[in-house]
Amino acid sequence: MRVNPEFMQENSLLRAKYNITAMFYDIIDYPWERIYSQWRPVLLRDVRGKVLEAGVGTGRNLKHYHSSVELVGLELSEKMIRKAKKRAERSPCKIELIHEDATIMQSVDSNQFDWVFSTFMCCVMPNNLQTLAIEQFSRVLKPGGRFRLLEMVYSNNKNIRRRQDIFGPYVEKVFGARFDRNTLHHLEQSSKLKVTGTRFLKDDVYLLIEGIKQ
């Protein structure tokens, strides 16, 4: 697979950002994690089989997987994945953590996963990289395999939107995340992935997207 040099540069910038952020990620993310920690076990409650978690980060989801799951955790930043390895030791399931690019997944075989799961990865990626990641989700899922993605979007509520505009530059500088990513649109444009449901977990900001590989 030939990779566009522009995409490689964007991924290199993301990797560099998270290799720095990894040192204090869990600390600066703590105010939001107080909310996210309530969602994680619920989002993973029915996830079974062979699972790919894209953007495993520091491993906050790992302890919530069912013991029967065979998990492959994929992460762009080598320093983030070092932290995830410590949390993997406390997980009840079998885990393989891979330092890998979600837009390429060179080390991941096709048509092997029952689930692709991700929290706040696509909102970190520029739209042109998101389309590549979604193509990879489609490739590695089995026919009938399911996906569940949690992302952030801009609110239609004026008060919430005002706060997003204030904190947006900080969120982008530290986490690389933006509220204006078009993840749902890109998924709907996929020829093999079908979106089966969407809902907000809090306000009209935290968007859960679920679907299946046709």
Which tens digits make up the pLDDT trace of 109-123? 999 999 999 999 999
Residue 184 or 22, more confident? 184
pLDDT for the residue 6: 63
pLDDT tens string 73-97 = 999 999 999 999 999 999 999 999 9
Q: Give the model's pLDDT for residue 91.
A: 95
pTM attached to this predicted model: 0.93
CA 148 to chain centre: 9
pLDDT of residue 14: 82
In the chain, where the domains are located:
5-213
User: Does pLDDT of 107 surpass 90?
Assistant: yes
Number of DSSP helices (H) and strands (E) in the chain, helices first: 7, 7
Q: What percent of the chain shows pLDDT beyond 70?
A: 96
Angle at 198 between CA 104 and CA 63, to 5 degrees: 65
Sorted by sequence, the CB contacts under 8 Å of residue 106 that are 6+ apart come out as 1, 100
Mean pLDDT of the chain: 94
CATH 3.30.70.120 is held by the domain 5-213: no
Task: Look at residues 136, 70, 68, 76 and name the one whose alpha carbon lies nearest to residue 100.
Answer: 76
pLDDT in tens, 127-179: 889 999 999 999 999 999 999 999 999 999 999 999 999 999 999 988 889 99
Measuring CA to CA, which residue among 28, 3, 7 is closest to residue 128? 7
